[in-house]
Structures are given as C-alpha cells and as structure tokens.
Amino acid sequence: MNGSGGESDRDVVRRILTATGDTWAVVGLSNNTRRAAYGVASVLQRYGKRIVPVHPKAETVHGEQGYASLADIPFPVDVVDVFVNSELAGAVADEAVVIGAKAVWFQLGVVDEDAFARTRSAGLDMVMDRCPAIEIPQLG
C-alpha cells in the first residue's frame, strides 16, 4: 500500500503530521457531532492544526469557517483529510492535486488504490485507511 520504494507508511504519516504544514482541509466535516470527522478535527486542533471544514453546507465548525468545496478555500491548504465514501474519495484526491495541496489523507475505511497512485505520481504524499487522531499522539 505504500508504493514509495523503501519508504514506510509510518515515515509518510510522520512527515504529513510534523513537516507538511498545519492547514488541514477536512472534507466531510460538519456540525454532526456523531460523525468521526467532528472528533478527529477537534484532536487536530488540539495538536495545533488549523482545520478548514469542507462540506456542501459550508458550516462553521469548531470556530472555523466552512467552505462548500476545496476550490472555494481562498488560501493555501497543506493537507486534505478525506472523510467521504471510498467511491467519492478519488475525486477529492484529484481536487487536492488541482488546488496545490501537499498531501492527501484518506481516513480509516477510505481506500482507492487508483487515486493513491494518481496522487503519488502527482508528487503529493498520501496515506490511506489511517486516522490522524490515532497517529498524532503516537509521534512522541
């Protein structure tokens, strides 16, 4: 699943969390407190990340203004964290490339091998089927 020639998934996870930048667009984030995105965004904020909610409702979540799409965000985004179904995730990854993001993170249960290959060949870091809220406390 890493396809990066010798570099482990763990190395990519560490780089995205520590060196890629602190502006995280969270695709699928709304004010629905029962959704995983809501809790994960809160953890990211606690670790110093600026979260940018991306959802058709464009709600303000955790005090941050939301946008209907990645293309609507009027400032650079470092990481695109994807909380949509695997069938929709590839299009989000492609949009992340278009807006100039540095990395794409597919949440637990989100897998699209073709999107992974396209995103990596476009020069972005990417991980799939992982959760930053689980990974970030383990960095030490």
Q: What's domain 9-139's architecture?
A: 3-Layer(aba) Sandwich (3.40)
For 87, the token pair is 């069938």
- Read off the pLDDT band of 52 (50, 70, 90): very high
Taking the C-alpha atoms of residue 43 and residue 9, their distance in angstroms, rounded to an integer, is: 21
Domain ranges within the chain, ordered by starting residue: 9-139
Residue 33: predicted pLDDT: 96
Taking the C-alpha atoms of residue 51 and residue 48, their distance in angstroms, rounded to an integer, is: 9
CB 80 within 8 Å of CB 101: yes
Residue 3: predicted pLDDT: 43
For 122, the token pair is 């476009």
Q: Going by C-beta distance under 8 Å and a sequence separation of 6 or more, which residues neighbour residue 76? A: 23, 100
SS3 3: coil
Residue 121 has pLDDT above 90, yes or no: yes
pTM, 2 dp = 0.93
Cβ burial 82-116 (10 Å sphere, 16+ → b, else e): bbbebeebbebbebbbeeebbbbbbbeebebeebb
Per residue in 96-118, pLDDT tens? 999 999 999 999 999 999 999 99
For 67, the token pair is 């946008």
| Lowest mean pLDDT across 6-10, 30-34, 69-73, 81-85 | 6-10
- Read off the pLDDT band of 6 (50, 70, 90): low
